[in-house]
Every structure is written in C-alpha cells, then in structure tokens.
Amino acid sequence: MKTYNQTMRAILQTFLYGIMGVLAGGGAILPGISGGVICVIFGLYQPMMEFLSSPRVGVKKYYKLFIPVCIGWAVGFYVFSKLVAVMLTASYLFTTWLFCGLILGSYPSLYREAGKQGRNRSSGVWFLLGLVVLLIPLAIVKAGILPQVQPTLFWYFFCGVLWGFSLIVPGMTSSSILMSLGLFTPLNQGISSLDPEVLIPWLIGLVLVILLFSKLVTYLFRVKYALFYHVVLGLLVASTLVIIPTEGYHDVWHGLLSLLLCGLGAVCTFYLDSRKE
C-alpha cells in the first residue's frame, strides 16, 4: 500500500502535469509560442512523439502523464482562445503586432535549428522556395486581387489540417498563415464558443493529419533535415510578412505602442526558446 507521502507526491505530480498541459494548450493558440517548445521545456515532447509513433505502447507507458496533460491542454486551449478573442476585439492592431513579436522572437532559435545538421547553397534556395510559394498567394489575397476567404466547413477543415502540421512539424506555426487568410479570428471565436460547425471539421482535419503524416514528417526530417526545415522557415517568414498591419494608426503613439508590443512579444518567445536550449 502507498504511504501518505507517496499518495501526496502522486497527487502533486498529477497536478503539475495538468499545469504543464494548460501552458502547452495556451501555447498552441498563440502565434509564435509553439506548444511543442513548451513540451520540450517540460520534458513532454519525447513521450508525445513515442505516442505518435506507437500509440498502444505510448498509452501503456505514459497514461499517468497523458491523462492530466490532455485535460490541462484542453482547458488551456479553451481559456486562451477566449483571451485571444477578447484581445482581437479590443484592438486588432495592437494584438496583431504582439503576435508578430511572438513569431519574430522564435526566428533565431528556428534558424539555428534549421542549420543543426549543416547548411549548403541549396539550403538558401529551399528557404526562398518556401518563402515565395506562400508569399505570392497570400499577398494576392491581401491585396484584394482574389476574393477574401469566407469561413466555411471546408476552410475550418483546412484550419485543422494546418494545425495538425504545426503539431508534428517542429517550429511551424499555423496561426500566422490563418491570420493572413482572415481565418484566425472566426476560428478562434468558434473554438471559444464551442461552435460544433467550427470544432468538428477543425478536429477532423487536425486528427487526419496527425494520423496520416506524422511518420512521413519524421522520415523527411531524418533523411532531408536541412532541406525540409529551411522550407518550413521560409513559410513562416512569408506568413509573418503578410500579417504586418498597414492601417489603423491614428497617431504616432499608435505606432510606438505597436513597436513596443512587438518587442515585448519577441522577448517572451526568445526567452522561452533559450530555456528550451
């Protein structure tokens, strides 16, 4: 039988796992703050990858970890989605600049990560390819040359697909791409209000990507690490450039406060990434 101290330690450990899940869930909804990075900091990333590679073995080995973490993740994701919805409603300009800073602060770590197995001339080519392939269509949509994306079941499914890839591809954030397409706000509002027309297609897309592509992504990182990571880095830069606000500045103080929030966001993610390393 367990002693009183052992029982209390087990309860405390379960509570701490739940808190870790809350923070990881919050990181998943915030652009630039990768839930994966938070998982690395708390030692959750390796168990998660073991689970994705072999679910049966992973569940048996880590069920005491996964149950409180998953519950905490759901709570954190929901609470932070509510918070982000309030922030975007209060000031889209300032919130977007804060998000730009959060993403910007992750660049140094991602750049180092991309070159962890060496760089060559083709690395820059693949970075530019990822940048151009995403930047052109997003810029066309933002310029109004093509109609603005209207949220539908298909587009919420597409959001889930992007979110799924952001979970299995280290460093990739889907939020900036969704913001540039005008999908982040309606998706976030749908999640925070538990709207089934948003949640169901989004979850289907997310789960399908994890089930179908997690092993492929692992393989690509193993055999073409530098190539694949530089493409991801190019995609991230492209999606960030497009969401930079170009209007809504009523005076010079709006511009200064925007830059201050951008800097604050960058410092936050830079600190988190330094903790990871």
Residue type, 223: V
Q: Are 18 and 69 in contact (CB under 8 A)?
A: yes
pLDDT of residue 2: 57
Q: Are 21 and 68 in contact (CB under 8 A)?
A: yes
pLDDT of residue 63: 79
- What six digits make up the tokens of 92? 């889209």
- Looking at per-residue confidence, does 228 or 256 come out higher? 256
Q: Kindly report, residue by residue over 84-114, the tens digit of the pLDDT.
A: 888 888 888 888 888 888 878 878 877 887 7
Q: Are 99 and 240 in contact (CB under 8 A)?
A: no
Taken as a whole, the chain contains a residue count of 277
Q: In angstroms, how far is the first alpha carbon of the chain from the final one?
A: 40
Q: Are 106 and 269 in contact (CB under 8 A)?
A: yes
Residue 153 has pLDDT above 90, yes or no: yes
Q: Are 70 and 24 in contact (CB under 8 A)?
A: no
**Domains in the chain: boundaries:** 4-276
pLDDT of residue 64: 81
Q: How far apart are CA 71 and CA 21, in angstroms?
A: 7
Residue type, 91: S
* Residue 111 CB burial class (10 angstroms; 0-12, 13-18, ≥19): middle
- Looking at per-residue confidence, does 224 or 153 come out higher? 153
All residues at 6 or more sequence positions from 23 whose CB lies less than 8 Å from its CB, including other chains: 38, 42, 72, 76
Residue type, 218: T
Q: How far apart are CA 100 and CA 93, in angstroms?
A: 11
Phi-psi region of 173 (alpha: psi -120 to 50; beta: other; left: phi over 0): beta
Angle, nearest 10°, between helix axes 252-276 and 92-104? Answer: 30
pLDDT of residue 1: 52
Q: How far apart are CA 193 and CA 98, in angstroms?
A: 23
pLDDT of residue 275: 64
Go through 26-61 and write b for each residue having 16 or more CB atoms within 10 A of its CB, e for each that does not.
bbbbbbbbbbbbbbbbbebbebbbebbeeeeebeee
Among 35-49, 138-152, 227-241, the minimum mean pLDDT is found in 35-49
pTM given for the model: 0.73
- In the three-class reduction of DSSP (H, G, I as helix; E, B as strand; rest coil), residue 172 is classed as coil
pLDDT of residue 26: 75
Q: How far apart are CA 275 and CA 262, in angstroms?
A: 20
Q: Are 37 and 22 in contact (CB under 8 A)?
A: no
Average pLDDT of span 251-268 = 89
